[in-house]
Every structure is written in C-alpha cells, then in structure tokens.
Amino acid sequence: MVAMPVRTLIVDDERMARKRLRTLLAVDADVSVVGECTNGRDAVTAITEHEPDLVFLDVQMPELDGFAVVHAVGVQRMPVTVFVTAFDQYALKAFEAHALDYLTKPFDRERFEMSLARAKHQVRLRARETAETAAVTPPSRGEAGAELNTRLVAFLSDLERRQQYADRLLVKAAGRVLFLRVEEIDWIEAAGSYVRLHVGRDGHLLHEGMAALWARLDPARFARIHRSTIVNLDRVRELQPWFHGDAVAILRDGTKLQVSRTYRDALGEA
C-alpha cells in the first residue's frame, strides 16, 4: 500500500517566508501543500475545513498570532504543528522544555529537513494508531496524538502564565524615556525607594521598590539572591560557597554578587 502524501498547510504573514517554505517542501515527494494562509483568521478556517496533517505555523502575526490560532481551532483538532518563530532564546527554551518542534527565522535547509522528518514521523504515527483503533473505537488522535496534545496544552498554559510578567521596563532618565527589554538586564540592586538596573556598563534608576519589581519578573528568568539583589539567571556563570552558608554568584562579565543563605537553595534549583 502506497502511503498518502502528508497534506501540509503553510501559515505566515510574510510572502518571502511562505515562498521559502513552499520551495523547501516542493522537493519532498511525501508532502503535498494543500494551501497557504497569510493571517491567523484564514488559518483557523483552513485547518477546520481541510484538516491538514501538518501545519507550519508562524507565531508572530498581527491580530491573531500562532498561539491564538491553536486556541481558536482547539488543541484536540490541531494537526502536527511546527512553529515558525523569531522569538528570543527564552521562548525557544520553552518550546524545547515541552518537546515542541520549531524553526527559528532565518533557518537553513538542514535544520528544516530535520524538522520536517520529525513532523512526518509524527504524522505517520498518528495515522497508524488511528487505523489500528478505528475498527473498535471511535476515530481519535491515538497515543502519539494524545501525547502531543498534552505537551501543547502544557506549553500554552505555561505561555499564559509567563505573559503576566513584564517584557519591557520604562525608565525615565535625563529627559528621555528608555524602553528596556527585561532580558537585557544583568542584575538589579535596591537603591532606597528606587532600584538600579545594571545593563552592561550602564546603570538605570527605576522608581519602583524591589518587592514590586520582583513580582513583575518571570522567576524562570530572574532569581532573588539577596533582599537587595535580583539576578538574570542567564548571566550567572558559577556559584561559589562563601562564609556562614552564604555564596557568591559570578556573572559572565566577572561581576561578583553575594548570595545570602536564605536564597541560596532557591538559586541552585533555578
């Protein structure tokens, strides 16, 4: 029996990105492109009506982004999905933590082919499991589909939780207003009723208390290491023991920060 081609949908608001995907898919005889969508609303309609096996789904689209498409269609009805994104490293770690496939723009042919091979394997697993169970039970996604759905639900829940945290901080200085992405911050220290944000060689005062700012920061990115210090976890190179249960966090640029024993275990876990 000849395997049916993997019916694939391309969703991206950038014309060149769609062309790139279409060109790469065209050389694979196992794939049939059943459509292209330039926005999230059309993607919801296409997925619902045509039920493709696989979708390459752009995350960052105006009005209705890739995650909103998943919500609108419903996780149980989503085909195997490869997210296409220009997200930063923190979001990519979230994809990896939930074992969801993604392509980072710009991607090369080798990376694309690896992703496509995994997606095709997932599609075949779904098809085989559905065929094996169809005779005795109502059609379903099968174990492979259920596992993928579970990971997708967990990812979306995690994403919604993260969205409550600040992505940028507004800092006023010398008549200017700066918009700092939180990922740019190396560490933060208390400065009276202010906090000082250390960004490379620069320091910026923010009129906000430590407790209030800490509540706005994602604990997956930042850790409280002292009652007057917060550190970007991605900047920590090593942790060294010090006196009386305290420790020293050494950042990638050589900065040394005291870690009180109250926060030491939590930092190690983070």
User: 155 in helix, strand or coil?
Assistant: helix
Nearby residues of 23 by Cβ (< 8 Å), 6 or more positions away: none
Q: What is the pTM of this model?
A: 0.60
* Per-residue confidence band for 1, with pLDDT thresholds at 50, 70 and 90: very low
**Per CATH, is 168-269 categorized as 2.40.50.1020?**
yes
Radius of gyration of the chain (CA): 23
Q: What is the average pLDDT across 106-132?
A: 87
CA distances from 226 to 36, 85, 197 (A): 52, 36, 15
pLDDT in tens, 9-39: 999 999 999 999 999 999 999 999 999 999 9
pLDDT band per the 50, 70, 90 thresholds, residue 230: very high
Between 47 and 138, name the one with better pLDDT: 47
Name the token pair of 247. Answer: 């420790």
Residue 88 has what pLDDT?
A: 61
Closest by Cα among 204, 211, 155, 207 to 182: 204
Q: What is the pLDDT of residue 111?
A: 93
Residue 229 phi, psi (nearest 5): -140, 135
- For CATH 3.40.50.2300, list the domain ranges present in the chain: 6-162
Q: Which CATH class is domain 6-162?
A: alpha beta
Q: Each residue of 169-222: pLDDT tens digit?
A: 888 877 778 888 898 999 999 998 899 999 999 999 998 888 889 988 988 889
Residues carrying CATH 2.40.50.1020, the chain: 168-269
